[in-house]
Amino acid sequence: MSSLQIPDPAHPGSSRQRGASRPASASAQPSSVSIHQSSSRTQRASHQVVSSQHQVDHDVYSHPAAVAYVTAHPRWTIPKFGPYLLLQTVGEGKFGKVKLGLHSQWGEEVAVKLIRRGYIDSSVRKSKVEREIEVLRTSKHPNIVRLYDVIETDKYIGIILEYASGGELFDHILAHRYLKEKDAAKLFSQLISGVWYIHQKKIVHRLLKLENLLLDRNRNVIITNFGFANRFEHRADDLMQTHCGSPCYAAPELVISEGLYVGPAVDIWSCGVILYAMLVGYLPFDDDPNNPDGDNINLLYKYIVNTPLSFPDYVSAEARDLLSMMLVPDPTRRADLRLIMAHPWLSAYAHIFSNGVEDLERAAMEQHQMRRLAYQRQMRQVAAAQSGPSRVPRSPYETSIPVTTMDPDDDPFTSTP
């Protein structure tokens, strides 16, 4: 099998240089690493490989996530993947699972997206994985999931991502029924800023939906899942051909038209559906009595094209105006990002849109460094507390947690819950 493109360990964006997600960013020329189905050697983009003889720092087992995991699963052995402990599953897909990871030295929480090599059984899937890694590697934005590392073993390709501890935006909306307009405007501005950024980088996401928007611990949006992302040329007449996306969020032209489509316009439609769900509490165009579950895609899109957009009374006139500009079935009449960012409903967050690409990348790097320093400070405090001669152990697991380093025979999909 030919090579995947992964981050260059010599590049300043690698995790070794930076210090050390549910799922998941720096500009450089990609390096190439061959994927060998039979090699027993773990290949790494940065950190040194942790062998079975490596003595790990037991301070990490005082981390609340590790203590909670072992308390819940006292009989389970915690597998290691490179320098990361693999804890509970936080996401799942056709490719495999996403695990909460814990760096054994720094105590930093990450999301470890484990892709089974058996999943990459075709050139299309291989290209999809390569493209996702390449897009994440070249993206640095405060509201786009950050790629930390790529680890390869015989059975898995592990994509190490920023961990968004606030969960899915979908669940956040469900918990509140719908969002107040002030809160929705903040989150939506962050989403639009991230989409504007990737469009400036000539990247279109193509799978924007609530489930792919996570929240960090401060309830800021984190855009994830770039598996369907692709590049486009910065020309007004640029068209794309591959039709993809979730039906409820996908632009009508993806299904109704059998021809080509404008890439950025499909992201704008999806953003409109997301904003509608934030403000209303349910998706638009899901009330067709002839297609109540939206299972019939052709009926769904005929309904979208022929049904005027409607709103409940609690949605303001300005919010309605913005949504009416975005949820336009004809992509040639749909608002572009410039008009969206200038809309009065988003005026309180206009400062977000004043940042250029370099400003956003600088802010992302500063944010990442502050987070890294906070984790390191936390680990030093734990180590200091543990160094006292009369210290009482915080938990019985600090010196007795069973750990195994993953080798070609280990399977985190069956050995841990």
Give the Cα separation of 395 and 400 in Å (integer): 10
113 is in an annotated binding site: yes
CA distances from 52 to 55, 101, 248, 334 (A): 8, 18, 47, 56
- Chain Cα centroid distance, residue 393: 36
Alpha helices in 327-356 (DSSP H): 337-341, 350-353
Q: Specify binding-site residues.
A: 113
Q: Specify binding-site residues for ATP.
A: 113
